[in-house]
Amino acid sequence: MFKVLVSDPISDLGIQKLVDAEDVVVEKKPGLSEDELVAIIGEYDALLVRSQTRVTARVMEAGKSLKVVGRAGVGVDNIDLEAATQRGIIVINAPDGNTITTCEHTFAMMMAVARHIPQAYLKTVGGEWDRKSFVGVELRGKILGVLGMGRIGSEVAKRAKAFGMEIWGYDPFLTEERAEKLGIRLSSVDDIVRNADFMTVHTPLTPETRHMISRPQFEVMKKGMRIVNCARGGIIDEHALVEAADQGIVAGAAFDVFESEPPAADHPFLKHPKIIVTPHLGASTVEAQENVAIDVSEQVLNILRDKPFINAVNMPPIPANVLSILQPYFSLSEKLGSFVSQLIEGAVEEINVTYAGDLSEVDTQPLTRYIVRGVLSHHLGADQVNVVNSMHLAKERHVNIVVNSLHAARDFTNSITVTLRSKVATRQVIGTMLTGYGPRIVQIDRFTVDVAPEGNLILVSHNDKPGIIGSVGTLLGDNGVNIAAMQVGRELQGGSAIMVLTVDKIAHQDVIAKLVQLPDLNKAKEIKL
């Protein structure tokens, strides 16, 4: 039974799938301090958070069974990713579920700042009828600078066009073609601060984006700029902004996020007549909270059940088109790694992988992670190695990983060759996906075979002589081991040969020892996949 801790308020409807899962127990404990979390996290396999819970290195260390931290939202700045990666804890987020909601909040803030809505509301409910102080500006015809043209920034740009705004965008990944497609002007930060009437930021907070709008930018900024930050506190320097508002450079600002949340009671934004604020509400709609909770719950369930998953933050993302090609190979890759690691003698020094055929044309890094996981799991334990930490663990153990690709795959559309080298041996296995038959091991060392990579296998090496197959079958049968499938591979008639037996249950070691006593039988090895 997997235990999942939900430590922030997350939509009940969104986590229903987890609650309903027969192999999962969900416990909700919002508002825990770091110490409280450290004290209990050891019991849980998964942790679900929004932005309040700080998942620190201490929490990760105490999370002895923790496999995954799921962030119901985009930003993972409350999670120590480095510590998670080192411990093989997968961190996933839900990047798509709150895009529209946050974009709409940005618009609400932009319009509120353009028309002084919060200030006018306060006066009106206070009994004053003041129509002179709140003359606003139109959005139509104004230049909107968008810093960060990712998911949210792009949606903001689309809607701003409907308001008749001219959009200038900056993003290190924004190409001329994409800008043209979006109907926006590709600009620099400097162009935007000098020319825009409105500016909105939609980047993550990184060392590069921290204070990307600060005193030097305010000094050259177009007078009367209105600024919105619904991304992360700290992208715009708060002190420099207050100065610029006091100097009349900034006509208005709308902030949903703060450098430190919640802001101190004497934070200068809270009393400033030109600055309006919301308490990090960008993603707070019923729809978004449901969406992100559903997305993250599904992926957490996949991870707990050892199924393929998406949106891991501490692994390189796999584009959807590549994922659809690679996904069928995940399990095969891991099994090839596991198979060959059970054959090799001596400490593995090199894992050499060759992708051939169609697989040579896509980024196969994710498959390599599965192969390395398969190799290392045999020695380090399947619960200690996953696709997040497998490469890190291999590097830590000075295992050299060599990856090659070959355009043509001999006899197959695709193949994966995994070769392990130690000081004393080199062993190899080749696998493929056979249309209509699924994954297959098609070569073991120099012997051609056709074996389904699953279950309990016995690999026998022997001399190709009449009667061997019968004697192996009889011995196993006499010892209650039922053979489900058998494959024989040989180089030459009468030469060395191998036999791969798929058996219904693991044979006792003494049965394997008896096998090796049979005439012309050289070795027998059990392999569990």
Ligand X SMILES: O=C(O)CCC(=O)C(=O)O
Ligand Y SMILES: NC(=O)C1=CN([C@@H]2O[C@H](COP(=O)(O)OP(=O)(O)OC[C@H]3O[C@@H](n4cnc5c(N)ncnc54)[C@H](O)[C@@H]3O)[C@@H](O)[C@H]2O)C=CC1
Name which position in 51, 331, 364, 428 contacts ligand X (CB under 6 A): 51
Q: Is 203 one of the binding residues for ligand Y (CB under 6 A)?
A: yes
Sign of the Cα pseudo-torsion (281, 285, 291, 297, in order)? positive
Name which position in 277, 283, 348, 452 contacts ligand Y (CB under 6 A): 283
Distance CA 257, CA 362 (A): 39
Q: Is 172 one of the binding residues for ligand Y (CB under 6 A)?
A: yes
Edge-to-edge strands of the sheet including 348-357? 400-406, 348-357, 414-422, 426-434, 438-444, 447-451
User: Which residue is closest to ligand X by CB?
Assistant: 73
Amino acid identity, position 281: L
Residue 162 half-sphere exposure, CB side, CA atoms within 13 Å? 5
Active site annotation includes 54: no
Q: Of the listed 261, 287, 349, 396, which one is catalytic?
A: 261
Name which position in 88, 97, 263, 282 contacts ligand Y (CB under 6 A): 282
Distance CA 329, CA 335 (A): 10
In SS3 terms, 169-214 reads as EECCCCCHHHHHHHCCEECCHHHHHHHCCEEEECCCCCCCCCCCEC
Residues of span 471-500 touching ligand X by CB under 6 A: none
Cβ–Cβ < 8 Å for 441, 430: yes
364 binds, among ligand X, ligand Y, none (CB under 5 to 8 A by kind): none
Dig out the tokens for 431 from the structure: 């696998």
Q: Give the residue from 262, 433, 224 showing the smallest Cα distance to 336.
A: 433
Distance CA 208, CA 136 (A): 34
Binding track over 97-126 against ligand Y, x by CB under 6 A: -xx--x------------------------
Stretch that binds ligand Y, among 149-157, 300-308, 350-358, 371-379 (CB under 6 A): 149-157
Q: Is 73 one of the binding residues for ligand X (CB under 6 A)?
A: yes
Active site annotation includes 280: yes
CB of 405 to ligand X, least distance (A): 37
3-class SS of residue 7: coil
CB of 37 to ligand Y, least distance (A): 22
Per the listing, tokens 């696998």 go with 431
Output DSSP code: residue 222: P
Q: Give the residue from 110, 199, 101, 190 showing the smallest Cα distance to 151.
A: 101
Query: How many residues contact ligand Y, by CB under 6 A?
Result: 33
Which contiguous run of DSSP H or E holds residue 426?
A: strand 426-434
Name which position in 32, 143, 257, 340 contacts ligand Y (CB under 6 A): 257
Residues of span 87-106 touching ligand X by CB under 6 A: 98
CB of 232 to ligand X, least distance (A): 7
Residues of span 245-284 touching ligand X by CB under 6 A: 280, 282-284
Name which position in 170, 198, 258, 447 contacts ligand Y (CB under 6 A): 170
153 binds, among ligand Y, ligand X, none (CB under 5 to 8 A by kind): ligand Y
Q: Of the listed 50, 87, 232, 373, which one is catalytic?
A: 232
Per the listing, tokens 């529209």 go with 100
Q: Of the listed 105, 202, 280, 369, which one is catalytic?
A: 280
| Beta strands 198-201; 143-147: pairing state | parallel
Residue 381 half-sphere exposure, CB side, CA atoms within 13 Å? 3
* Helix and strand element counts for the chain (H, E): 17, 22
Stretch that binds ligand Y, among 72-80, 266-274, 348-356, 409-417 (CB under 6 A): 72-80
Dig out the tokens for 236 from the structure: 């715009």
Active site annotation includes 508: no
97 binds, among ligand X, ligand Y, none (CB under 5 to 8 A by kind): none
Stretch that binds ligand Y, among 82-90, 206-214, 333-341, 360-368 (CB under 6 A): 206-214
Reading phi first (left if > 0) and then psi (alpha if -120 to 50, else beta), residue 455 is in left
Q: Is 95 one of the binding residues for ligand Y (CB under 6 A)?
A: yes
Site residues for ligand X per CB under 6 A? 50-51, 73-75, 98, 280, 282-284
Site residues for ligand Y per CB under 6 A? 73-75, 95, 98-99, 102, 147-153, 170-173, 202-204, 206, 208-209, 212, 230-232, 256-257, 280, 282-283
- Positions marked active-site: 232, 261, 280
